[in-house]
Amino acid sequence: MNFLFFYLWPLLNIIFSMVYKPPTSMAANKPKIIRNFLSGVNVCSISLLGILYYLTNYKFLFDLSIIIPQTYYIWDSFFIILHKKKNELGYVYHHFISMILLNHATINSLTSGHVYAALIVGELSNLSIITVYHLTKTLNLEDIEDKKRLHYWKKIQLCWYGFFRIPVLGVIFFKALETLSYFYYIPYISIYVMGVIWSKKQFDKYLIDKKELLKEE
């Protein structure tokens, strides 16, 4: 039954491609916007299922919220490799390690609580990235008001993503190390470090954009 979820992403990709009709000025960005839609479906699904699982403790919600991201990670990794997106190979590593940890969580009850919490918090942090990326590809960045709007959302992204990825995940990861076997230490810590690095990159880009925006005002 689980294999059916592997068809979810190519199916959604086809549906979004048929339904979404961007303005002529944004036609070149359509593939990127659709790919971001798919990422958004994954992020929103896992966040919602995770919250519902914590509220109800229904096991099928836990199982579903583990299966969906694993199939998405496989789909996205194939996309990156097949399209030779060398600048996104870090995501392939992230997806691969995440799948290993999620699989470990399903067979190890001592670890599952912390790994699952890290999954939900990590996906919640990505909500801001999905929003900002969509605005980046759909706003008219030649217009000063649209630039201000995007800059405002980047500020929200910086706070939202940084909060969940650094202090919140930091506490979860620290507690998880008490139950993880040594074999999983390095991959587990590397996922956290990647989040910190991405937060730093967002901060640096925010400062650059702020200086450019001030020059134009």
pLDDT digits (tens, 9 = 90+) for 166-185: 999 999 888 877 777 777 77
Residue predicted with more confidence, 10 or 2: 10
**What integer best gives the mean pLDDT of the chain?**
89
pLDDT at 1 over 60: no
Spatial separation of the C-alpha atoms in residues 6 and 8, rounded to whole Å: 5
pLDDT band at 35 (very low <50, low <70, confident <90, very high): very high
Q: What percent of the chain clears pLDDT 90, i.e. is strictly above it? A: 58
Least confident stretch, 46-50, 69-73, 108-112:
108-112
pLDDT at 210 over 80: yes
- The whole-number pLDDT of residue 184 equals 73
- The whole-number pLDDT of residue 214 equals 79
- The whole-number pLDDT of residue 188 equals 80
